[in-house]
Amino acid sequence: MTVIEHIWPWPWWGVMVAINICNLAICIACFRNSLLRPDGNSTYVRNMRIMGLVFTLVALYRAVFVSRYLYQYAWFDTLANSSLVIRTFAWGAELSFAGLIAFSMLRFNRDMARHDDSYALSRYEKLAPYGLILCIFVAQFFATGGLITKSRLLFAIEESLWSAGFFTILPLAIIQFRRASKQALPSTYIMLRRSSLVLLSWCVIYCSYGLVYHLPTEYWATALEQLRTGEPQLKTGFSAIKDAFKSVNVTHHYPDWGFGFVLWHSAYFSVCVWLSIFLMRAPRYLGAEQQGALLEGRAH
């Protein structure tokens, strides 16, 4: 064991927990700020701040209770670190994450609507965000099934659905960015302009990561190997559910977690949370009254 492998766990864990504590503090400030806006009780603004809070809270929980589903590796010897418990929380968090992105894109379509007669493109713009939500929703079943049965194939399908969801909205992200960039827009559109840039950057990075590394290297190669060898064996029935809930295999050994997991975990519980906090501010067109209130809030 190298020196790095020996000392890595607690400094890494401490940094991730500290980041997520700070994230929660920022999230709460944004939540309270959102309540004070002139349109703070509108359905869109209310839903965005709730989804942002849900994702940030679960992120902090998962940063504390680190878990790797397939092997049910855990950071602490407690049922709070149960993979099935954490997967249950992940349902709400990941659907909230998808909702933040989808609803912000739908709001962009409304506040900065296109002005041509292309029916097909108009339908795509309206439906693509729902395609993302559908992909992430269906992915939850495969992730939970993979955890219970220990099927690498189900995990590979889950991750493929995540990539498919973001590939679905990638053209829309490009369209919205171009629409927001090519016009000399007044400052009341600043939130939409910024969100279009952020979401395009996110889609490009995530799709590239999934296509080049995450899917072929970490998921499909091992899924096909399990199909070929039958190892590890699949689990079924109530005993599999019980095992997914009760088995907590504590380890801080770096090779057990691996580079791929540490990279994914570090990015998920930092960058993804920052994105959710950014979006929970509900990007939208700001009328004169709303913009004045927003600037006043920043001054305070």
One digit per residue, the tens of pLDDT, for the chain of length 300 reads 565 667 889 999 999 999 999 999 999 999 999 999 899 899 999 999 999 999 999 999 999 999 999 899 999 999 999 999 999 999 999 999 999 999 999 999 999 887 766 888 889 999 999 999 999 999 999 999 999 999 999 999 999 999 999 999 999 999 999 999 876 777 888 999 999 999 999 999 999 999 999 999 999 999 999 999 988 889 999 999 999 999 999 999 999 999 999 999 999 999 999 999 999 999 999 874 455 455 454 544
Dig out the tokens for 86 from the structure: 């954490």
pLDDT for 291: 52
CA 74 to CA 66: how far, in whole Å? 6
Prediction pTM value = 0.92
Query: What is the structure's pLDDT at 290?
Result: 54
What is the predicted pLDDT for the residue at 3?
57
Q: Which two tokens stand for residue 288?
A: 């004169």
What's the CA gap between 144 and 58, in Å, rounded?
A: 17
Q: Where are the beta strands (DSSP E) in the chain?
A: 67-68, 73-74, 249-250
Q: Output the pLDDT for position 4.
A: 64
**Bridge partners for 250 per DSSP:** 74
So what's the pLDDT on residue 294? 52
Which residues have C-beta within 8 Å of that of residue 192, sequence separation ≥ 6? 108, 111, 112, 180, 283, 284, 285
In angstroms and rounded to an integer, the radius of gyration of the C-alpha atoms of the chain is 21
DSSP state of 168: H
Q: Give the separation between CA 282 and CA 299, rounded to whole angstroms.
A: 19
Max intra-chain CA distance, the chain: 65
How much is the pLDDT for 182? 79
Q: What integer pLDDT is reported at residue 7 of this predicted model?
A: 84
Q: CATH 1.20.1070: does it fit domain 3-299?
A: yes
